[in-house]
Structure 1
């Protein structure tokens, strides 16, 4: 019978350094914990606004910079590439210096990158600014999870992780409902400059109110641990990677997150407007449905996971299967124009992608000791963004190839391009099934 990873023998983990030990009675939870989490998660909400702002501005960006689908996808690809590449360094920084400092650095980078993007009128500077945004974005989610791990009992961590994702969807909702309208009424520079200015308020909030650990518990990075207690960086990474639960977490994140992520980050609006002939208002409304669905699934999965760790793999495999089936039905529909009910169903199902990807981080958390949770979470959190990057690139290249470089894309072009989704979906599924046996043994 498989052993619940939360109850696994301690012999598989290395000793926890004294600076990382929780308070004697364990994390307290309660109002103080929710306050600390609320302040930290405000940074993540801000990061999601920055991350998804291009999703409603894709057509505007193509017009502003005079670029096609491949070049347009380069914005999101570079942003996601930087995000993914920063996950392990950020995890190490969180483990060494604490989440509060990393969150503050993230806010500064997000604001600087977005302001540069607002003022850019050429493709090169705009591309560089999206890379800076990706770097700042990378510093937020892992830091919030680290704050939660210090403040909440272990049994509550899956629920808090889902609530963190749920709060992030609030940022996505701002992008789809507010930024889309602001771009139409206020223009490019004013809209993105206003988003950049939001960072000043969030920065002050973190400085004034965030405590990253309860009273009586040493915060990570607050008191330097003796050098002997700190393993070399490469050793820490190697220990995390050797743990099958970390690798399983990466592949769960890889396989479940990317379809909805690629759709909301860049290709959803062009697909609905150019491929399906919808108005911008109707397309933005459907993207809002995606956000609402994500919120609902986040609450559902959080409740299920907080009750039993055994729900992890059934949730993962169900989401993968449902996403593959719905995309298959939409792409196979004659003429490439599925009916509205099928598009709505597809979007509702993709709402499960983000919450299911957090199961990967739950695997990484459950199978690693406390002093390397940041590093393990960073490794797992790379997965979905690597898959998103591959998907954004593949769809963009196939769209340009199918349209002959015309700059406008038919339903048939989108139909061909979105078939690329199945490459990372099948790869990830195979790896999950392989590692599932190793983790259960």
Structure 2
């Protein structure tokens, strides 16, 4: 539970720009593309850190990384609450990305060691759901805090939460349920490189990467930055209504998560079908909103947000592929590779939307039409991602059948055997 609460607070930090975008643009006097750069820099650092973090996780364990993460997040948010220049603010968000990168796969490592394999998909979904409560904290509560306390006090207060979680991890968390500490073999640099190469060359790892890539970016882009401006400046909703709507993905995810986790645990061979269904539903709802004449009605926007919320639980299946197709000794490296996918796609999408908004508006006030053109960039990422999912699904199955026929037959029978 301590690890999950740490993840919850981290999600709050990650999404803390979701309702602060308009205030940030005014505070730093920046354009839409410059505003997007806050989240792009944060996610770029996050993605770049995933493989190194996976290596550190295999060597040092979850507890040390979670304590370090809490310290970095405290420093980053404290700095962001104080700075007034755009470059300094970018540096603070980059540091936040480093701290954020240490958390999620460390929490997954705790789950892997504390729960049996058949329960891990469900526990991973439960972790995502509970962590999603942090996203709620980054919406309505933070919007209210901005109105009553202002920028410095709001971000400074959020920073203090990481001090609390860091202390909790230090005194309460155990890496594993065993009394004896885990003995981790110190690997040479060459052995580390070989481990990462093996994880990368495994088709199942790449299937997980492209699954995470394709399911994550739409909801991530909407929740982390562009959803609030789109709803307020594009669709004409009040800031209070828009902030309230950003809570819906978390509530819907709480409903989706157990269903996805149970399906993945019971039918692991057919996980890709739920992934493709999630992607198709999100793309279909965005099509409805984007082709709607003028501003879409509120019920249609609510339906978009609720349907798109399934992307979060769907993205967790990418990490489930990393566990299925790699031995435990490569868990950190494989999860690090997979976890880069969604964040790379999200930072590309966030940055592209900012550029298209500036080009479409041409310096004038942004309209709903400008936002509609900007959000069309999603279709390019969906198309690339689906093609790669189908490609690596075929390769992953063929490779497993050739080199691990017993594991493959067990998977076809909807049972999971660990690789060795």
1:388 matched to which residue of 2? 346
Partner Cα separation in structure 1 for residue 248 and residue 162 of structure 2: 27
Q: Distance between the aligned counterparts of 1:405 and 1:217, measured in 2?
A: 63
CA-CA distance at 1:226 after TM superposition: 6.2
Distance in 2, Cα, partners of 1:218 & 1:302: 30
Q: Give distance in 2, aligned partners of 1:344 and 1:97.
A: 44
Tell me how far 1:215 sits from its aligned partner: 1.9
CA 1:381–1:227 in 2, change beyond 3 Å: closer, same or farther? closer
Cα pair distance change 1:313/1:224, threshold 3 Å: closer
Instruction: Give a deviation string over 1:372-426, Cα, whole Å, max 9, x none.
Output: 10110000000000000100011000000011023x3100000100001111111
* C-alpha distance in structure 2 between counterparts of 1:381 and 1:190, whole Å: 32
Write the mapping of 1:320-339 to structure 2, written as runs, cut at 5 A: 320-335=279-294, 337-339=295-297
Per the alignment, residue 138 of structure 1 pairs with 101
User: Cα offset for 1:322?
Assistant: 0.5
TM-score by length of 2: 0.93
Distance 2:184 2:136 in 1: 40
Q: CA deviation at 1:367?
A: 0.5
Q: Is the partner of 2:244 in helix, strand or coil?
A: helix
Change (3 A) 1:261 1:227: closer
Which residue matches 2:404? none
Distance in 1 (CA, whole Å) between partners of 2:331 and 2:184 is: 17
**1:224 Cα shift?**
4.4
Asked if 1 retains the 8 angstrom alpha-carbon contact of 2:105 and 2:335, the reply is: yes
1:364 aligns with 2:327: no
Cα separation, 2, equivalents of 1:439 and 1:217? 36
Q: 1:227 to 1:266 in 2, by over 3 A?
A: closer
Q: Which of 107, 112, 117 is the matching residue for 2:80?
A: 117
SS in 2 for 1:54: coil
CA distance in 2, matches of 1:203, 1:118: 20
* In structure 1, distance between residues paired with 2:2 and 2:353: 37
2:220 paired residue number: 261
2:185 is aligned with 1:225:
yes
Deviating beyond 4 angstroms after TM superposition, the runs of 4 or more aligned structure 1 residues are none
CA distance in 1, matches of 2:4, 2:304: 29
Partner of 1:204: 167
Q: Report the Cα distance in structure 2 between the residues aligned to 1:435 and 1:123, rounded to whole angstroms.
A: 41
SS of residue in 2 equivalent to 1:381: helix
Within 2, Cα distance between the matches of 1:349 and 1:141? 24
Partner of 2:24: 61
Provide closer, same or farther for how the CA distance between residues 293 and 226 of structure 1 changes in structure 2, counting only shifts above 3 A. closer
Q: Tell me how far 1:311 sits from its aligned partner.
A: 3.9
Aligned to 1:244: 203
2:378 to 410, 421, 426: 421
Q: Give the Cα separation in 2 of the matches to 1:200 and 1:265.
A: 23
Over aligned residue pairs, what C-alpha RMSD do you find?
A: 1.3
Q: State which of 375, 398, 405 in structure 1 corresponds to 2:333.
A: 375
